[in-house]
Amino acid sequence: MNEYLVLVVEDDKPIRNLITTTLKMNSYRFIKAGKGKEAIMLSASHKPDIIILDLGLPDIDGVEVIEHIRTWSDVPIMIVSARGDDKDKIAVLDKGGDDYLTKPFSVEELLARLRVTQRRLMKTENVSVTEFVNGALRIDYVSGCVYLDDEELHLTPIEYKLLCLLAKNAGKVLTHKYIIQSVWGSPADNSEASLRVFMATLRKKLDDSSQALIQTHIGIGYRMMKL
């Protein structure tokens, strides 16, 4: 029996069956989902080693699934999609996808890609934490909720992304450029100024006027302190 657990996310039944049959014949363990939200739940509860993900799903887009899972996990995500042009591929890989297989694909190709991913897994530890706690702050990555002393905070999507990035790198100083690229993708002319604005409102919501939680390094960036 193969030790790896694969999560197959695909709403198209014939393709899903082709993938799961291939996995079964090659002794992989697998679980399956037909919707994006189900995939997010399953990846949190079962902690699969590899995810095979279709982009066109009936509830939320596959790209959104990647973004969500990436807030807490580095699990390899292999995209299986009919969207074949380079711009789409780059966009998905930028969001944290690991590999890209264009439909229609052969079973041999799928297996070859899985073997490559497994070799990479043997080299790196698969970090998967679903919750972050630091002092009074708690981030529940699965539901996307943030709590301060058990009271839920209402953050905008950008503020949430910012907070997750700082949390993931707690103790480390992150440069303005790194933060802007991680949160917005590409830097704009006024991005440092808007980062300061977002950080100020985030701090206010976190009741962090004393900068005990998020430190400002003038001219460099920010750091979340480990409390």
In this complex, which beta carbon is closest to Ca ion, that of residue 19 or of residue 164? 19
Q: How far apart are CA 165 and CA 152, in angstroms?
A: 19
Q: Least Å distance between CB 36 and Ca ion?
A: 10
Question: With binding defined as CB under 5 A, does residue 54 bind Ca ion?
Answer: yes
Question: With binding defined as CB under 5 A, does residue 39 bind Ca ion?
Answer: no
In this complex, which beta carbon is closest to Ca ion, that of residue 11 or of residue 140? 11
Q: How far apart are CA 79 and CA 52, in angstroms?
A: 6
In this complex, which beta carbon is closest to Ca ion, that of residue 16 or of residue 68? 16
Secondary structure (3-state) at 51: strand
Give which of 119, 142, 115, 117 is closest to 131, Cα–Cα. 142
Q: How far apart are CA 200 and CA 202, in angstroms?
A: 5
Give which of 22, 40, 28, 23 is closest to 3, Cα–Cα. 28
Cβ-based neighbours of 90, under 8 Å, separated by 6 or more:
none
Interface with Ca ion by CB under 5 A: which range of 3-11, 85-93, 112-120, 163-171?
A: 3-11
In angstroms, the first-to-last Cα distance of the chain is 43
In this complex, which beta carbon is closest to Ca ion, that of residue 60 or of residue 165? 60
Give which of 131, 168, 163, 164 is closest to 44, Cα–Cα. 131
Return the residues of window 140-199 that contact Ca ion according to CB under 5 A.
none
In this complex, which beta carbon is closest to Ca ion, that of residue 11 or of residue 67? 11
Q: Least Å distance between CB 12 and Ca ion?
A: 5
Q: How far apart are CA 143 and CA 162, in angstroms?
A: 16
Residue at shortest CB range from Ca ion: 56
Interface with Ca ion by CB under 5 A: which range of 18-26, 47-55, 63-71, 145-153?
A: 47-55
- Strands 173-175 vs 221-224: parallel, antiparallel or unpaired: antiparallel
Q: Least Å distance between CB 121 and Ca ion?
A: 26
Question: With binding defined as CB under 5 A, does residue 64 bind Ca ion?
Answer: no
Of these, 24, 26, 27, 56, which contacts Ca ion (CB under 5 A)? 56
**The sheet that has 214-217: what strands, in order across it?**
173-175, 221-224, 214-217
In this complex, which beta carbon is closest to Ca ion, that of residue 11 or of residue 38? 11
Q: How many residues bind Ca ion (CB under 5 A)?
A: 4
Question: With binding defined as CB under 5 A, does residue 11 bind Ca ion?
Answer: yes
Q: In the complex, which residues of this chain contact Ca ion (CB under 5 A)?
A: 11-12, 54, 56
